[in-house]
C-alpha cells in the first residue's frame, strides 16, 4: 500500500467514523428531545412536585441519636425488672435473644431511673428527660419498634434506607426525589452533625443509586457552612459567574451528546453552590435570634450549645423551605458506664429537642413539620459488665426486638403511646411497628404512597420500604 493509499484509506475511515458518530448523536439528540431530556429541556430535579395525595406535612426534621439510646432507662418503664435484678433469666426467655456482645446468661439490669407521668396524657418518661416531659402532649411515643439488624451500621442502614445492606438511597434522598424542595438557595436535603463517632457515617445521607441531586449536604454550624464554599482571595462574584456560565455551556453540550443525567445534576450543583454563597452564611448567623430564643435552645450553656445550635438551625432551614433535615448526634452506644454516659447525652439533647418542638408550634410550623426522634435500635434489659471490679462500669448491649422512638407534628396524633413490650422489655407484646412501618407512615404524612414512590435500578423497581411496610393509622390524626 502506497502512502497515498494509506492516507486515502484513513481519510475514508475517519470520514465514516465521523459521519456515523454524528448521525448517532443526531438520532440520540432527537430521541432525547422526544423524551424531554435535551439540555434545553432538562427539568429542575429539585423543583417542588405534587405528592400522590393531600399531605399533612411538608418538611421533616429527623433527630437521629446514633448509637442506640436505652429505651429501658428513658421511655419504657419496666418495674418487673426489679424483681429479676441481678439474676439470670430462665433459658426459655433468654434463648431467642439477639445479643451481639453478651451471653443469654447475663444478669438482668433493672433501670435505676424514676419514671414520672408527663402532660395531660400522663406518658411515663424518665427523670433524665424533664424537657421532653414538657412536650409529652405533642409526641406520639412508639414503644413497640422492631427490626432485624442488631449491629450499628446495618441497623442505621435499615432505619435510613430500608435495607441493612449499604448502598441504597436514604430516607432524605427518597423524600426529596419524591417532592423536590421549596428552597431555591439551599439544598433540599441538609445534614447537621454533632458528636464524633464512626457509627454515624456518611451512608446515613447518601443518595445511593438516585441521581446525586438528592444526596444530603453536610452543613457546619460555624466557620464556612459548607467546606470550600467561599471564593479564594482575589476571585470576585463577577469572575465566578463568568466561569460558571462557560462551565454550564460545556456541560450542556455534553448532556446533548450523552444524555447523562449526572451531568445535569452537576450543572444544578454548580448553580446551587453559587446561590448558597449568599444564603448559607446568613443561615448559620444566629445573632439575629432574640436572647430568649438562644436561652430556650440552650445556646448559653456549654453542654447544650452545639446540639442546641443544630436544632435552632433545623427550624431556620424549615423556614427557608428545606424539605428534609437530618440532625445527627453520635455516641449513644453505652456498653459501659451507662449512668454517666446516658445522663450526659440527655443533658446535651433533651432541652434543645424539646425547644425545637415548642418553637415550631409557636410559629405555626409544627402542623406542617414532621419531627422524629430515634436511634437505630435500643438496649437490652440485661447487664453488660466489661469491668466487674468497677460497679459504675455496667452498661447494656444492643436490642432490636422492642425499642422506642417518638414522633411529633405533621399529621401525627400527639399525647399517646403506641404499642407495648413485655414486662421484661425483651420483645414486643402489642401493636408491633417495624422500621418499614415507620418509614411508610413518614412518607404517608408527606402525601407519598410508599409503594408508588419507586426508582428503576438494576432491572427492577426499588422503594424505601423494600418489600414491606404498612402505614400505622393509629399514629395519625
Q: Where are the domains of the chain?
A: 59-225+286-475
Closest CA to 395 of 64, 146, 155, 99: 99
> Residue 421 phi/psi, 5° resolution?
-100, 170
Query: Which residue has 459567574 as its cell numbers?
Result: 241
Other beta carbons within 10 angstroms of residue 244's beta carbon come to 15
Q: Is the pLDDT of residue 34 over 50?
A: no
CA 442, distance to chain mean position in Å, is: 12
Cell of 285: 448567623
Question: DSSP letters of 127-172?
Answer: TT-HHHHTTTTTEEEEEEEE-S--SHHHHHHHHHHSSSSTTSPPHH
**What is the pLDDT averaged over residues 159-180?**
97
pLDDT, average across residues 93-109 = 94
- With cell 422500621, the residue in question is 435
C-alpha distances in angstroms, 385 versus 4, 72, 153, 382?
86, 17, 23, 10
> Cα–Cα distance between 275 and 263 in angstroms, integer?
19
By the 8 A CB rule, do 297 and 353 touch? no
Average pLDDT estimate for 440-446? 98
3-state per-residue secondary structure call for 215-276: CCEECCCCCCCCCCCCCCCCCCHHHHHHHHHHHHHHHHHHHHHHCCHHHHHHHHHHHHHHHH
Longest dimension (CA), the chain: 101
Q: Is the pLDDT of residue 25 over 90?
A: no
Look at residue 19 in the predicted model and tell me its pLDDT: 45
Confidence of residue 230 (pLDDT cuts 50, 70, 90): low
pLDDT range class, residue 231, cuts 50, 70, 90 = low
Asked if residue 108 has pLDDT above 50, the reply is yes
pLDDT grade, residue 283 (50/70/90)?
confident
The per-residue pLDDT for 4 is 43
* pLDDT for the residue numbered 284: 83
Confidence label for 44 from pLDDT (cuts 50, 70 and 90): confident
CATH number of 59-225+286-475: 3.40.720.10
What mean pLDDT is predicted for residues 454-458?
96
If you ran DSSP here, which 8-state letter would residue 90 be given? P
Nearest-5° Cα angle at 360, 443 to 378: 55
Instruction: Tell me the mean pLDDT in the region 59-63.
Output: 98
pLDDT over 50 at 29, yes or no: no
Average pLDDT over residues 141-166: 97
**Mean pLDDT in the chain?**
87
Answer yes or no: is pLDDT of 13 > 50: no
pLDDT of residue 30: 41
Within 10 Å of residue 56's Cβ, how many Cβ atoms? Answer: 18
In the block, residue with C-alpha cell 434506607:
161
Using a pLDDT cut of 70, give the percent of the chain over it: 80
Judged against a pLDDT cut of 80, whether residue 476 lies above it is answered with yes
Average pLDDT rounded to a whole number, residues 380-399: 94
At 8, the pLDDT band (50, 70, 90 cuts) reads very low
Determine how many CB atoms are found less than 10 A away from the CB of residue 319: 15
Q: Which of 138-142, 240-244, 391-395 has the lowest mean pLDDT?
A: 240-244
- Give the range among 151-160, 233-242, 325-334, 415-424 with minimum mean pLDDT: 233-242
Instruction: Please check the confidence at residue 54 and state whether its pLDDT lies above 50.
Output: yes
79 pLDDT above the threshold of 90: yes
Lowest mean pLDDT among 168-177, 225-234, 466-475: 225-234
pLDDT at residue 432 is higher than 70: yes
Q: If you compute the radius of gyration of the chain from its CA atoms, what whole number of angstroms results?
A: 26
In this prediction, residue 95 carries a pLDDT of: 87
Q: Mean pLDDT, to the nearest integer, of 153-173?
A: 97
**pLDDT greater than 60 at residue 100:** yes
Alpha helices in 366-469 (DSSP H): 435-445
Q: Which residues contact 407 (CB under 8 A, 6 or more apart)?
A: 139, 140, 142, 370, 371, 372, 373, 438, 441, 475
Comparing 95-104, 245-254, 429-438, the range with the smallest average pLDDT is 245-254
Strand partners, 433: 145
Q: Do residues 339 and 350 touch, judged by C-beta distance below 8 A?
A: no
**What is d(CA 146, CA 435) in angstroms, rounded to the nearest whole number?**
6
| Per-residue CA distances from 170 to 51, 294, 327, 443 (Å) | 19, 32, 14, 13
- Residue 103: what pLDDT? 94
For residues 15-23, give the mean pLDDT.
43
Least confident range from 48-52, 164-168, 170-174, 228-232: namely 228-232
Quick check: 125 pLDDT over 50? yes
Examine the pLDDT at 270 and tell me if it is beyond 60: no
The confidence score (pLDDT) of residue 279 equals 61
DSSP letter assigned to residue 88: B
Residue 254: the pLDDT is 75
pLDDT at 37: 38
Average pLDDT over residues 4-10: 46
Amino acid at each position: 500500500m502506497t502512502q497515498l493509499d494509506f492516507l486515502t484509506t484513513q481519510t475514508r475511515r475517519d470520514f465514516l467514523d465521523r459521519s456515523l458518530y454524528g448521525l448517532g448523536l443526531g438520532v440520540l439528540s432527537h430521541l432525547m428531545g422526544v423524551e424531554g431530556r435535551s439540555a434545553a429541556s432538562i427539568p429542575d430535579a429539585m423543583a417542588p412536585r405534587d405528592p400522590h395525595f393531600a399531605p399533612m406535612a411538608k418538611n421533616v426534621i429527623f433527630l437521629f441519636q446514633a448509637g442506640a439510646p436505652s429505651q429501658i432507662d428513658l421511655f419504657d418503664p419496666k418495674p418487673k425488672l426489679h424483681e429479676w435484678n441481678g439474676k439470670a433469666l430462665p433459658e426459655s426467655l433468654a434463648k431467642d435473644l439477639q445479643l451481639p456482645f453478651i451471653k443469654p446468661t447475663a444478669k438482668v439490669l433493672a433501670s435505676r431511673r424514676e419514671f414520672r407521668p408527663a402532660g395531660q396524657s400522663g406518658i411515663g418518661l424518665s427523670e433524665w428527660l424533664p424537657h421532653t416531659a414538657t412536650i409529652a402532649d405533642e409526641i406520639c411515643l412508639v414503644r413497640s419498634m422492631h427490626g432485624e439488624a442488631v449491629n450499628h451500621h446495618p441497623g442505621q442502614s435499615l432505619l435510613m434506607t430500608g435495607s441493612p445492606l449499604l448502598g441504597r438511597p436514604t430516607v432524605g434522598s427518597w423524600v426529596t426525589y419524591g417532592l423536590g424542595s421549596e428552597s431555591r438557595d439551599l439544598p433540599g436535603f441538609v445534614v447537621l452533625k454533632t458528636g464524633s463517632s464512626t457509627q454515624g457515617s456518611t451512608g446515613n445521607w447518601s443518595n445511593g443509586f438516585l441521581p446525586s441531586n438528592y444526596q444530603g449536604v453536610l452543613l457546619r454550624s460555624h466557620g464556612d457552612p459548607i467546606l470550600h464554599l467561599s471564593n479564594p482571595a482575589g476571585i470576585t462574584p463577577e469572575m465566578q459567574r463568568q466561569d460558571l456560565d462557560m462551565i454550564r455551556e460545556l456541560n450542556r453540550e455534553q448532556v446533548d451528546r450523552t444524555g447523562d443525567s449526572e451531568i445535569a445534576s452537576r450543572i444544578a450543583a454548580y448553580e446551587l453552590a453559587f446561590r448558597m454563597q449568599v444564603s448559607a452564611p446568613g443561615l448559620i448567623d444566629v445573632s439575629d435570634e432574640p436572647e430568649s430564643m438562644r436561652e430556650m435552645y440552650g445556646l448559653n450553656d456549654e453542654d447544650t450549645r452545639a446540639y442546641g445550635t443544630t436544632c435552632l438551625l433545623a427550624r431556620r432551614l424549615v423556614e427557608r423551605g428545606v424539605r428534609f433535615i437530618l440532625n445527627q448526634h453520635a455516641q449513644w452506644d453505652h456498653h459501659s458506664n451507662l449512668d454517666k454516659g446516658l445522663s450526659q447525652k440527655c443533658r446535651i439533647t433533651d432541652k434543645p429537642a424539646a425547644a425545637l418542638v415548642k418553637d415550631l408550634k409557636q410559629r405555626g410550623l409544627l402542623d406542617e413539620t414532621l419531627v422524629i426522634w430515634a436511634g437505630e435500635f435500643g438496649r437490652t434489659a440485661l447487664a453488660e459488665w466489661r469491668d466487674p471490679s468497677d460497679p459504675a462500669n455496667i452498661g447494656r448491649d444492643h436490642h432490636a426486638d422492642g425499642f422506642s422512638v417518638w414522633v411529633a407534628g405533621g399529621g401525627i396524633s400527639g399525647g399517646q403511646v403506641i404499642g407495648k413490650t413485655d414486662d421484661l422489655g425483651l420483645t414486643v407484646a402489642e401493636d408491633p411497628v417495624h422500621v418499614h412501618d415507620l418509614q411508610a407512615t413518614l412518607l404517608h404524612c408527606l402525601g407519598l404512597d410508599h409503594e408508588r414512590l419507586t426508582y428503576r435500578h438494576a432491572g427492577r423497581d426499588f422503594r424505601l420500604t423494600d418489600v414491606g411496610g404498612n402505614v400505622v393509622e393509629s399514629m395519625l390524626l
